[in-house]
C-alpha cells in the first residue's frame, strides 16, 4: 500500500510512464510498447514484482473502455475498477490465480471512471521468464459482454447451453472453469440469500479474449528474444526446467558430460538447461546461456555448411554428429565433436533436443578409454532417463 502511494505521489505523466519502461526494460526492448499499441484489444499488463502489483501498461482500447487516462491507470492495482456490485466470487478467483500463477477466465462487473458499471469477460494469463521461471507479468484481456445475458436465479438456462465449450478456445489451460456453473452464484446453500448476479459471455466473446491473449503473449515472446529473457504463456513443459521439479534438475545434474537441452516448443529453440561441464567448456555463466539458441557458439570461422547440416537434422527430427568450430566466451575457438538428438516425452512426442559437446583432442576426455561416440550415446541415454521423470512427475499432473 505504501509503495503504491509512493508511485502515485511522484508527480505527473513522465514518472508514471517510466513505470512501464522500468517494468519492461529487464525483459523486453522498448519497441514492445509500439507493438502493443498497434493492438485493437482492451487489455492491461501488470507487474507482480513491483509492490502493489500495479498496472504497468494499459492499451488504448482499455483506456477508452474505462474512461480513464493513461496517467490515472498506470501504477494502480486492477481493483480500482471494482465497485459495490462487483461479483466477489470472480474477484476471489482472480486473486487465487495470481497467487498460484495460473490463467483464469471469469465474468466480472467493473466500473468506468464515470461510475457506470459494465460486464466484461476477464481473461488473464501469467508470463514467465525462461531464465529463472519467475512470473514477470500478467496479461489481462477484457472483452465487454454485449447483449442482455444477465442471469438471475438460473431462470434463463438457455443462455448457458454450450457456453463452456473449452475446445473452441483451443487453449485448454486458459479455458473457462466450467464447474463454476451458470445463473446466479449463491453465497451459501440457502437459495435467495445474497444471490450474486452473473453474466455469461458468448462463445464469440470467449474466442475473442483467447485470441487476444495469444496475440499479446506472442508479441511479448517475440520482443523478449532481443534481451534473451524469453517469456512464454505456459509454465508446464515450455518455459525451462527451472520450474519443473527439483528431481529432474538433480538427475540432470548428475550427468558429468557437457550438454545442453533446447525446448522445441519455444520460438527459436532456446536452451533451457546447460550442464556444469558445458559452462566450464565455453566459459559462460548459466544465465548467459539459458534462453538463447545454441548458435551463439558459432563465430567467423564456423563452416556454414555444417550449421546447415545441423539445421536439417533438427527439421527432420533426426540425430546427427558433426565436427564444428565453436567459440568460447573469451573468443578462443575449439573443435567441437557435437552430437545432437531429439528427446521424446512420456507421450512419445519430441519435446527437446539434447546437444552433447566433446572438445576434440582434450586429454582429460580420453582417459577412460571410451570413444566420443560411446560417451555421447551414454549422455543422451542419461538425459532421456532424467526427462522421463519430468514428463511423469510434473507435466501430466499439472495439466489436469
Ligand atoms: C474494447 O471495448 C470497446 C468498448 O469500449 C468495445 O466496443 C470493443 O469491441 C472492445 N474491443 C475488443 C477487441 O474487444
Ligand atoms: C518481432 O520482433 C521484431 C523486432 O525484434 C520485429 O521487427 C517484428 O516485427 C516482430 N514480429 C512480430 C510478429 O511481432
Ligand atoms: C508431450 O509433448 C506433447 C507435445 O508438446 C504434449 O502435448 C504432451 O502433453 C506431452 N506429454 C507429456 C506426458 O508431457
Mean pLDDT of the chain: 76
Specify the higher pLDDT residue, 91 or 103.
91
39 CB under 6 A from ligand 2?
no
Question: Which of 64, 81, 117, 143 gets mutated to test ligand 1 (max ligand atoms within 8 A of its CB)?
Answer: 143
Please give the pLDDT value at position 390: 55
Q: Report the nearest-CA residue for atom 10 of ligand 3.
A: 347
244 CA → ligand 2 middle, Å? 29
Ligand at shortest distance from the CA of 238: 3
220 CA → ligand 2 middle, Å? 10
Residue 206 predicted with pLDDT over 50:
yes
Please give the pLDDT value at position 266: 76
d(CA 45, CA 102): 15
The neighbour count for residue 133, using CB atoms within 10 Å, is 16
User: pLDDT tens across 26-57, in order?
Assistant: 788 878 999 999 999 999 999 988 888 999 99
* Residue 235 grid coordinates: 509454465
Q: Which residues pair with 163 in a beta bridge?
A: none
Of the candidate ranges 124-128, 182-186, 305-309, 337-341, the one whose mean pLDDT is the lowest: 182-186
Q: Report the nearest-CA residue for atom 1 of ligand 2.
A: 222
Q: CB-based contacts of 151: which residues, under 8 Å, 6+ apart? A: 159, 160, 182, 183, 184, 197, 198, 199, 200
Residue 183 predicted with pLDDT over 80:
no
Residue 330 predicted with pLDDT over 90:
yes
Q: Which residues pair with 142 in a beta bridge?
A: 122
Atom of ligand 3 nearest to the CA of 237: 14
Please give the pLDDT value at position 388: 76
Please give the pLDDT value at position 100: 81
Average pLDDT over residues 319-338: 96
392 CA → ligand 3 middle, Å? 10
Of the candidate ranges 37-51, 161-175, 236-250, 277-291, the one whose mean pLDDT is the lowest: 161-175
Q: Report the nearest-CA residue for atom 5 of ligand 2.
A: 223
Ligand at shortest distance from the CA of 216: 2
Of the candidate ranges 238-242, 260-264, 377-381, the one whose mean pLDDT is the lowest: 238-242
Please give the pLDDT value at position 51: 85
219 CB under 6 A from ligand 2?
yes
What ranges in the chain are assigned the alpha helix state H? 2-9, 12-25, 31-37, 60-66, 70-73, 88-100, 203-224, 246-253, 276-282, 286-289, 304-315, 372-390, 396-398
Of the candidate ranges 116-120, 210-214, 375-379, the one whose mean pLDDT is the lowest: 210-214
Of the candidate ranges 74-78, 133-137, 234-238, 353-357, the one whose mean pLDDT is the lowest: 234-238
Please give the pLDDT value at position 131: 66
Q: Which domains, and CATH codes, for the chain?
A: 2-145+201-232 (3.30.450.20), 246-399 (3.30.450.20)
Distance between start and end Cα atoms, the chain: 35
* 3-state secondary structure (DSSP) of residue 197: coil
Ligand at shortest distance from the CA of 223: 2
Question: Which of 235, 237, 243 gets mutated to test ligand 3 (max ligand atoms within 8 A of its CB)?
Answer: 237
Please give the pLDDT value at position 246: 52
Instruction: Give residue ranges with CB within 6 A of ligand 1.
Output: 40-42, 61, 64-65, 143-144, 208
Q: Report the nearest-CA residue for atom 2 of ligand 1.
A: 65
Please give the pLDDT value at position 280: 94
Atom of ligand 2 nearest to the CA of 29: 5
- The DSSP annotation for 322-375 comes to EEEEEE-TTS-EEEEEEEEEEEE-TTS-EEEEEEEEEETT-GGGGSS---HHHH
346 CB under 6 A from ligand 3?
yes
Amino acid at each position: 500500500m505504501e509503495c503504491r502511494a509512493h508511485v502515485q505521489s511522484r508527480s505527473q505523466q513522465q514518472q508514471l510512464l517510466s513505470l512501464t519502461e522500468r517494468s519492461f526494460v529487464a525483459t523486453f526492448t522498448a519497441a514492445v510498447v509500439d507493438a502493443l499499441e498497434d493492438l485493437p484489444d482492451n487489455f492491461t499488463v501488470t507487474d507482480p514484482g513491483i509492490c502493489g502489483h500495479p498496472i504497468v501498461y494499459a492499451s488504448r482500447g482499455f483506456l477508452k473502455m474505462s474512461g480513464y487516462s493513461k496517467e490515472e491507470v498506470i501504477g494502480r492495482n486492477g481493483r480500482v475498477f471494482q465497485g459495490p456490485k462487483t461479483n466477489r466470487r470472480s474477484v476471489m478467483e482472480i486473486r487465487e490465480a495470481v497467487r498460484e500463477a495460473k490463467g483464469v477466465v471469469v465474468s466480472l462487473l467493473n466500473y468506468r471512471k464515470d461510475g457506470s458499471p459494465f460486464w466484461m469477460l476477464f481473461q488473464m494469463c501469467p508470463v514467465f521468464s525462461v531464465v529463472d521461471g519467475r512470473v514477470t507479468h500478467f496479461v489481462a484481456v477484457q472483452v465487454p459482454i454485449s447483449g442482455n445475458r444477465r442471469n438471475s436465479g438460473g431462470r434463463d438456462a438457455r443462455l448457458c447451453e454450450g457456453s463452456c465449450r473449452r475446445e473452441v478456445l483451443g487453449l485448454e489451460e486458459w479455458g473457462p472453469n466450467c464447474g463454476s456453473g451458470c445463473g446466479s452464484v449463491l453465497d451459501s446453500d440457502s437459495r435467495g440469500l445474497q444471490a450474486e448476479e452473473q453474466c455469461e459471455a458468448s462463445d464469440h466473446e470467449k474466442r475473442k479474449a483467447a485470441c487476444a491473449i495469444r496475440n499479446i503473449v506472442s508479441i511479448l515472446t517475440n520482443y523478449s528474444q532481443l534481451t534473451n529473457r524469453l517469456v512464454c504463456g505456459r509454465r508446464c513443459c515450455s518455459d525451462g526446467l527451472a520450474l519443473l521439479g527439483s528431481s529432474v534438475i538433480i538427475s540432470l545434474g548428475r550427468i558429468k558430460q557437457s550438454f545442453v537441452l533446447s525446448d522445441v516448443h519455444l520460438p527459436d529453440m532456446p536452451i533451457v538447461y546447460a550442464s556444469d561441464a558445458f559452462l566450464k567448456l565455453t566459459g559462460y555463466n548459466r544465465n548467459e546461456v539459458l534462453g538463447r539458441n545454441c548458435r551463439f557458439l558459432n563465430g567467423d570461422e564456423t563452416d556454414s555448411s555444417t550449421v546447415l547440416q545441423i539445421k536439417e537434422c533438427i527439421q527432420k527430427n533426426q540425430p546427427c554428429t558433426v565436427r564444428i568450430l565453436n567459440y568460447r566466451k573469451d573468443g578462443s575457438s575449439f573443435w567441437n565433436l557435437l552430437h545432437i538428438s531429439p528427446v521424446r516425452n512420456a507421450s512419445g512426442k519430441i519435446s527437446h533436443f539434447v546437444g552433447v559437446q566433446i572438445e576434440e583432442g582434450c586429454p582429460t576426455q580420453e582417459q577412460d578409454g571410451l570413444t566420443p561416440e560411446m560417451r555421447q550415446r551414454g549422455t543422451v541415454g542419461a538425459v532421456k532417463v532424467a526427462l522421463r521423470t519430468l514428463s511423469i512427475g510434473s507435466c501430466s499432473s499439472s495439466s489436469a
